[in-house]
Chain A
Amino acid sequence: KNQVEQSPQSLIILEGKNCTLQCNYTVSPFSNLRWYKQDTGRGPVSLTIMTFSENTKSNGRYTATLDADTKQSSLHITASQLSDSASYICVVSDPGGYNKLIFGAGTRLAVHP
């Protein structure tokens, strides 16, 4: 079964510190992987999209990496800010349907002052 699993479920860090969120997927064949940020009470917003040929992609203080061989991705947040407090969702394209996506349950990040 095609699945996307994220760890940890939740994380608390101090402002200014770095953190790394993990994503493992079993989706095959693989097309692309996305990371979304979802603020409380809001819809998800795209951070990065990577195809199978890309190893890393950055968006400001957010850097996503992809290892298609081990089917793992990570999202690294540098110099965290209070506004980084949100859920981060890993999403993989479903090979079985038109632009259909398989969502992970997300990692809830809290940045404390």
Chain B
Amino acid sequence: NAGVTQTPKFQVLKTGQSMTLQCAQDMNHNSMYWYRQDPGMGLRLIYYSASEGTTDKGEVPNGYNVSRLNKREFSLRLESAAPSQTSVYFCASSARDLNEQFFGPGTRLTVL
């Protein structure tokens, strides 16, 4: 039981490049989330998926897109990376509303 897994662990991009961050959970959770964590700030929600087939914007969605591929997988795509997107990205999942969220190990992204 791996919990929440994320790939890659580290990534360096040049401005304008695109990439997809992958997230998978094996806990049969309905809800999944993408956050970013910047120094001196709390985690901020980018997008979330309350259930398979649905996605909604969070607090800071600009510059990102998501896909809930199936119940297990939730990907985050940067179409044209910008230096302001340099951050640590966390994926999380939860069983249902108000339940504990379980976090993955994070992806450290640097955009030059």
Residue numbers of A with Cβ under 8 A of B are 4, 31-32, 34, 41-46, 49, 89, 93, 98-106
Determine which residue in A89, A100, A104 has the highest number of CB atoms from chain B within 10 A of its CB, and name it: A100
- Is the pair A4, B42 in contact by a Cβ cutoff of 8 Å? yes
Q: How far is the CA of A89 from the CA of B92 in the complex (A)?
A: 15
Within the complex, the shortest CB–CB distance from A102 to chain B, in Å, comes to 7
Extra A-B contacts (7), CB below 8 Å, given A43-B104, A99-B99: A4-B42, A43-B106, A93-B98, A99-B97, A99-B98, A101-B101, A103-B43
Give the A-B contact count at a CB cut-off of 8 A: 55
Cβ of B4 under 8 Å from chain A: yes
Contacts of A102 in B (CB 8 A): 42
Within the complex, the shortest CB–CB distance from A31 to chain B, in Å, comes to 7
- Give the size of the chain B interface in residues (CB under 8 angstroms): 26
- Is the pair B106, A100 in contact by a Cβ cutoff of 8 Å? no
Q: How far is the CA of A23 from the CA of B31 in the complex (A)?
A: 27
- Is the pair A98, B42 in contact by a Cβ cutoff of 8 Å? no
Q: Which residue of A lies closest to B31 (CB)?
A: A99
Determine which residue in B43, B90, B97, B103 has the highest number of CB atoms from chain A within 10 A of its CB, and name it: B43
Q: Which residue of A lies closest to B51 (CB)?
A: A98
Contacts of B94 in A (CB 8 A): 99
Q: Which residue of A lies closest to B105 (CB)?
A: A43
Q: Which residue of B lies closest to A49 (CB)?
A: B100
Known: A102-B42, A103-B44. A43 touches B103 (CB 8 A): yes
Within the complex, the shortest CB–CB distance from B93 to chain A, in Å, comes to 11
Determine which residue in B41, B92, B98 has the highest number of CB atoms from chain A within 10 A of its CB, and name it: B98
5 CB contacts below 8 A, A to B, read: A45-B103, A46-B101, A49-B100, A99-B97, A101-B45
Contacts of A46 in B (CB 8 A): 100-102
Query: Looking at the complex, which one of B42, B43, B106 makes contact with A42 (CB distance below 8 Å)?
Result: B106
Q: How far is the CA of A33 from the CA of B48 in the complex (A)?
A: 20
Query: Looking at the complex, which one of A43, A93, A99, A103 makes contact with B4 (CB distance below 8 Å)?
Result: A43
Within the complex, the shortest CB–CB distance from A95 to chain B, in Å, comes to 11
